[in-house]
Chains A and B, each alone.
Chain A
Amino acid sequence: MQASPGSPLVELRKVSLAYGSGPSRMLALEDATLDIAKGEFIAVVGPSGCGKSTLMKLVTGLLPPTGGEVRVHGQPVKGPIRGVGMAFQAPTLMPWRTTRDNILLPLEVVEPHKRRFRRNKAEYIERVEKLLASVGLGGFGDKFPWQLSGGMQQRSSLCRALVHEPEILMLDEPFGALDAFTREELWGVMQALWLERRFTAVLVTHDLREAVYLADTVYVMSRRPGRIVKVSKIELPRPRTLETTFTAEFVDIVHDLRERIHMEHA
């Protein structure tokens, strides 16, 4: 079945997920229903442990849902889907590879690059160098990850998630472990990359300002078992800047979201 034009890229229909079985069975996500349009940037916010990472794994097919259905391109997801890039809170770079070789990894694994990799390595290396430069890491390709700062590692991790030009980018609190300055700087980097490439992005975060800065749509999740309790369209013009975050409009949106989340803790 081919997706009809205008239909969403990713569809979640009443998706639930329970970890474990028997007495240790625990519902992590309940009846999540949401659509992600092609090229849309969504953010999922919610208290820690509410099932945000779980939701992400469901979308990418890393976990099969225990209930409901996940569709990508109109097709039910049955295993890890192709064309995804992922970045986590930990950079998960391979310490035995240089930064450049780390970023080359997806090209060694994903078709059609895999097939062309050996013969066109120079071309791919050039692509990596360009990407590195665009996130402000020009000239650091030869360094090993452990020779880079946390922020630089996270930039490299973003490069690795994007180098094969995935259709969907999954970001699981990628800036969560960074200091405030680096984090806000990387919001700008992230937005620039998205504006240039228009991939579909799912950002999981517990930072409301981050969500509002980056996303077109913010989904608020309840405490465990996670349900989607609020959907908020962010109509702020792009490119957003740090200045934007001080405007009344921005502050209001963040305030609304925070209210809703506080209700969860009441």
Chain B
Amino acid sequence: MTETQRRLLLVAMPWLAMAGLLILWELACIVFDVPEILAPRPTRIFEVMVLRWDILLKYCLETLWTTAIGFVLAIGFGVLLGLAVGASPFVYSGLYPLLIAFNAVPKVAIVPILMIWLGVGALPAIITAFVISFFPIVVNVATGLATIEPEMRDVMRSLGASQWEILTKVGVPRAMPYLFASLKVAVTLAFIGSVISETVGGNRGIGFLMLSAGARNDSATTFAGLFAIAIMGVLMYAACALVERRMTRWAFRGEIVG
């Protein structure tokens, strides 16, 4: 295998794997004669996606919006809290156990409470997306700060740098790769959050579309929604990965020129 072939194959692999999975699924449906209401064939799902693209797109965009807003809030809040937790041992020992406890609560459980407080609509979805996705951001940013090399700290201190200068000149740049690595995880979590909220009780978004299609025994549409979520998730992940490479080239030692 030549080097070019190797590269081509590497690029093609994800598509081949996906195609393989879909073909397997299609064949299984045909061979075992699975009724459509249980699991529609992929070709049927794609057919629905093409036929009802306008509706799907409308609901997708609603979900995309709530997810994006929740995600941006999570970045803002997560970075601030992460900096505080990473920079101050007092904030760390005070808040870390709380954060862990909070993270252990299944977020599905809080959606009904949010609905009682905020009613149905976009707000509960935004907040669920926010609540579910800020944790990895906090942890990563705090880790980036807390793992500053002691020698680097000594260099700064011996220069007479203030805590603030150490934070801005060493801590923040050092936490950047950690932050961007967490964004990839956080954005998928944000999606899960908003879709959960829409599914538990909402009147908008792709989760709601799936729920109502399911209630009508329209499995093909439900699965089409599922596919749409997966596609959006992958796209958002890819966007975050791209930003990561652009912003923190040094962390990859220049190896990835993206």
Contact = CB atoms under 8 A, between A and B. Distances in A.
Interface size class of A (residues with CB under 8 A): 20 to 34
A94 interface: yes
Given A108-B169, A109-B165, A109-B169, A96 B158 contact: no
Interface in B155-214: 155-161, 165, 169-170, 173-174, 176
A54 to B, nearest CB: 12
Contacts of B176: 96
Interface in A69-106: 80-82, 84-86, 88, 90, 92, 94-96, 105-106
A80 B158 contact: yes
A110 B155 CA distance: 12
Interface of A: prevailing SS: loop
Interface size class of B (residues with CB under 8 A): 20 to 34
B33 interface: no
Given A62-B157, A96-B174, 8 more contacts: A62-B154, A82-B160, A84-B158, A84-B159, A90-B149, A92-B152, A109-B160, A111-B160
A235 B217 CA distance: 96
Interface of B: prevailing SS: helix
Interface stretch (B78-86, B87-95, B246-254): B246-254
A42 to B, nearest CB: 18
A228 B109 CA distance: 66
A144 interface: yes
A94 B159 contact: no
A94 B156 contact: no
Interface string B72-111: 0000000000000000000000000000000000000000
B59 to A, nearest CB: 41
B254 A92 contact: no
A86 B154 contact: yes
